[in-house]
């Protein structure tokens, strides 16, 4: 057990049926890039959908031939004998629409103009993503998912599955997530977006044609994001006030190790991620609110849900604190859903959902082993 | 009681004795702008120094003739019959060196070059400020302050007074402050600084000569700062997910009220504050660490202190949480100082120190009434 799924390859699905977004915008056609691991059983009952968070993509597990170091972002969780056990489940990961890793997004060519979509790519919501994911499920012959699983923004997609397609998902696993953003969450997103929007290289979102990239803005957005992914404690333990050199330099170059770390993370991200996708992802976070159409009443919003739920939070996560997860649990209990809730003691803040926290892995494994037994029935 | 000090005017003090900064840099001459309220008694024993925080200045109380709406930033706290009672105390507020409200700073003309200092203005520390404040005290004939008082970064200056001039300060009031920044604090500052440093209009700090101002960067820095000044709760209460218009617009204009508020705060600040000063202020915050020269041992660092202390924190302040204030109290107790500590129940986060929280005002008033009695002895 605990082997990797090994060599994987991405696939591409084309959709020619127009997709109407929640905003009213219409995408006439689009492609979704995805990977699958494991085998769909004869009944088609053992499929799991993995929804990614802000900067994730379809490469969830394994590696590509000749590039063994480029492991999927959740390789510790997904594989043979792992909590999301590919010996038992048929696992699907996709790059969300609007992304920058192969699925149609702002950097893709708009067939109507022959130019990249850029600013004209419509603002997308969690609802729109689930719609596109349902079409992918149709294409793969999956009538009902055994589970839809996601962390953070991925958890919101998993929740939305239970609302948009209650009959098509048996279990929803929402990890380090929230039913909707708080004002503080939105505020952080708005600062990140403004860093990108006001970067002179942004050119109103059409920077592709100018041969530049709003690196400065994207770098700042990521630096800020990183602060909110880590706990105060883990930053103190890992960096504290440690200096980069053995003396104070009294200048604006890196003085403290934490600055070095943040700038490195910012630079690395800005070199690989698309700024327009970053904007779309943060907007999807802001807009997600199942209660919006129910006068703010989350109990009413979740009355449609039929799935069973596992909700997991982490003690030091201050981006989506345990309180936010309890705000998911409460309306589910109100609607007499089966809900398991685990608050995991972890030092790693929001990032915990990507870590090998033993208690967390155990909870995932135990829950999904039971789901696997259901599928085999 | 609770009247304003009324019409005030700023004064200017010139210093021709070079000031050597902690960095080794030397400022050959400089001016400090300050205001005073109340009357210094014959013994010179009733003086209080108010140290300002990141964006503050010398205009602490009252208003200027013909501009009654431009109240000092701590007018609620300082005045006749107010907690810092100008009927009893001679109160001094100054604009810190490196500032942008009249004291010598990056926008001032360097007499050696005839150009604004810009990037050549040396990085300044809390120690350097206290040194310059001591010179101002000399000039005003104040041998010993009855109290040095400050909130946030101002509290650090008050603490530093007790270490640099233990015999020249009887009481130190450190409000919503910290003995040194955490990695997370430094990280937020670094993002803010990077927003300014990477703004194309920054021109390496010499933007004055280019006729531009790094407005974008300064605006982002302030937006980010504002998130850390407010509590999550007060943001939720004040803004929640309230929309600016009555519908969702699915674009990058302001959608939620919190975005409108933040952008307004950012714009307002960027129009009035100097970006180089902002950089200097955040660096002063980062560098302050009384234990730095004592192998990190805060107990040893505070062994020099002779003053009595009032330390105040606010329950919802997550920028400088109550835990940070307890880290001030602990080494003082270790050194057998008289320390009063008040943890005030307040919803307003870090900004609480500027607010009319009744419990807070009462604690300040009670403590300073006793200080006034000491002065009168």
pTM of the prediction? 0.96
Nearest CB neighbour to A262, from listed B190, B223, B266: B190
What would the mean pLDDT of A286-298 be, rounded to a whole number? Answer: 97
On whether the CB atoms of residues B364 and B356 are closer than 8 A, the answer is no
* pLDDT value of residue B376: 82
Strand partners, B139: none
Amino acid A1: pLDDT = 42
Of A74-78, A297-301, B30-34, B66-70, least confident by mean pLDDT is B66-70
Locate B19 and state its tokens.
């000031």
Which of B202, B252, B187, B254 has the alpha carbon at shortest distance from A216? B202
Q: Write the pLDDT tens digit of every residue in B154-198.
A: 999 999 999 999 999 999 999 999 999 999 999 999 999 999 999
Active site residue B350: yes
Predicted confidence (pLDDT) at residue A2 exceeds the cutoff of 80: no
Decide if A197 and B259 are in contact by the 8 Å CB cutoff: no
Chain A from 267 to 286: CB within 8 A of any B CB: 279, 283, 286
Residues 279-318 of B with CB under 8 A from A: 279, 283, 286-287, 289
| Least CB–CB distance from B183: residue in A190, A194, A235 | A235
Which pLDDT tens digit goes with each residue over A332-370?
999 999 999 999 999 999 999 999 999 999 999 999 999
Q: Please give the residue of chain B at the shortest CA–CA distance from A25.
A: B250
Q: Is the pLDDT of residue A122 over 70?
A: yes
Residue-wise pLDDT tens digits, A30-43: 999 999 999 999 99
pLDDT for B1: 42
Question: Within chain A, what is the greatest distance between any pair of CA atoms?
Answer: 67
**Which one is catalytic: A128, A199, A308, A317?**
A317
For residue A361, the 8-state DSSP code is: H
Q: How many angstroms separate the CA atoms of B214 and A344, rounded?
A: 44
Q: Please identify among residues 28-67 of chain A the ones whose CB lies closer than 8 Å to any CB of chain B.
A: none
Residue B220, min C-alpha distance to chain A (Å): 6
Q: How far is A111 from chain B (nearest CA, A)?
A: 22
Q: Report residue B128 as tokens.
A: 């350097």
The predicted-structure confidence for A182-237, as pLDDT tens digits, reads as follows 999 999 999 999 999 999 999 999 999 999 999 999 999 999 999 999 999 999 99
Cβ neighbours of residue B92 under 8 Å, at least 6 residues apart? B34, B35, B36, B47, B48, B49, B50, B136, B137, B140, B142
Tell me the C-alpha to C-alpha distance, in Å, between residue A184 and each of A33, A118, B53, B176, B336.
Answer: 33, 28, 23, 20, 41
Q: Give per-residue pLDDT as tens, B292-347.
A: 999 999 999 999 999 999 999 999 999 999 999 999 999 999 999 999 999 999 99
Ramachandran angles phi, psi of B283, nearest 5°: -65, -40
Distance from C-alpha of A316 to C-alpha of B175, rounded to nearest angstrom = 26
Contacts of A184 in chain B (CB under 8 A): 227, 230, 232, 235-236
- The mean of the pLDDT values for chain B is 96
Interface check A204 vs B, CB under 8 A? no
Predicted-assembly ipTM surpassing the 0.85 threshold: yes
Q: pLDDT of B267-290, one tens digit each?
A: 999 999 999 999 999 999 999 999
pLDDT reading at B98 higher than 60: yes
Across chain A, how many H-helices and E-strands are there? 10, 14
On whether any CB of chain A is under 8 Å from the CB of B263, the answer is: yes
Q: Which class for B106: exposed (0-12), middle (13-18), buried (19 or more C-beta within 10 A)?
A: buried
User: Is A348 in CB contact (< 8 Å) with chain B?
Assistant: no
Q: If pLDDT is split at 50, 70 and 90, which confidence band does A279 have?
A: very high
A190 touches chain B (CB under 8 A): yes
Q: Quick check: B20 contacting A, CB < 8 Å?
A: no
Report the gap between the CA of B265 and the closest CA in chain A (Å).
Answer: 12
Q: Which among A248, A287, A289 has CB closest to B287?
A: A248
Residues facing residue A48 across a β-bridge: A91, A147
Residue from the list B191, B240, B248 with its beta carbon closest to the beta carbon of A224: B191
Contacts for B78 with CB less than 8 Å, ≥ 6 apart: B5, B37, B50, B60, B61, B72, B84, B86, B91, B93
Place of tokens 């603490």: B159
The vertex-B111 CA angle with B106 and B116, nearest 5°, equals 30
Q: pLDDT for B121-146, tens place per residue?
A: 999 999 999 999 999 999 999 999 99
pLDDT at B2: 55
- Supply the angle between the helices A153-164 and A275-287 in degrees, to the nearest 10: 50
Q: Give the number of other CB atoms < 10 A from CB of residue A330.
A: 16
């Amino acid at each position: 057990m605990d082997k990797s799924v090994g060599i994987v390859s991405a696939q591409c699905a084309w959709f020619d049926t127009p997709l109407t977004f929640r905003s009213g915008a219409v995408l006439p056609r689009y492609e979704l890039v995805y990977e699958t691991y494991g085998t769909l059983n004869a009944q088609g009952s053992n499929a799991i959908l993995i929804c990614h968070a802000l900067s994730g993509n379809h490469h969830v597990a394994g590696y590509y031939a000749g590039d063994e170091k480029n492991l999927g972002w959740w390789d510790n969780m997904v594989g043979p004998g792992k909590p999301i056990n590919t010996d038992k489940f048929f696992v699907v990961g996709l790059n969300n629409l609007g992304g920058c890793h192969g699925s149609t997004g702002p950097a893709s060519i708009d067939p109507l103009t022959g130019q990249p979509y850029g600013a004209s790519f419509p603002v997308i919501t969690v609802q729109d993503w689930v719609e596109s994911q349902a079409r992918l499920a149709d294409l793969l012959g999956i009538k009902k998912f055994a589970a839809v699983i996601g962390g953070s923004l991925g958890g919101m997609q998993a929740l939305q599955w239970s609302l948009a397609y209650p009959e098509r998902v048996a279990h929803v696993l929402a990890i380090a997530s929230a039913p909707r953003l708080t004002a503080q969450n939105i505020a952080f997103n708005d600062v990140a977006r403004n860093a990108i929007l006001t970067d002179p290289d942004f050119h109103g979102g059409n920077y592709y044609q100018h041969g530049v990239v709003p690196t400065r803005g994207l770098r700042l957005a990521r630096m800020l994001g990183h602060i909110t992914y880590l706990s105060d404690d883990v930053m103190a333990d890992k960096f504290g006030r440690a200096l980069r050199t053995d003396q104070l330099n009294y200048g604006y170059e890196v003085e403290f190790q934490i600055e070095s770390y943040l700038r490195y993370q910012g630079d690395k991200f800005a070199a690989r991620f698309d700024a327009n996708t970053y904007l779309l992802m943060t907007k999807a976070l802001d807009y997600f609110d199942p209660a919006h159409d129910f006068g703010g009443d989350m109990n009413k919003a979740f009355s449609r849900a039929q799935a069973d739920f596992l909700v997991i939070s982490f003690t030091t996560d201050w981006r989506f604190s345990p309180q936010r997860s309890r705000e998911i649990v409460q309306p589910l209990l109100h609607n007499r859903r089966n809900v398991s809730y685990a608050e995991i003691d972890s030092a790693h803040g929001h990032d915990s959902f990507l870590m090998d926290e033993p208690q967390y892995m155990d909870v995932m494994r135990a829950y999904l082993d039971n789901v696997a037994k259901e599928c085999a029935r």
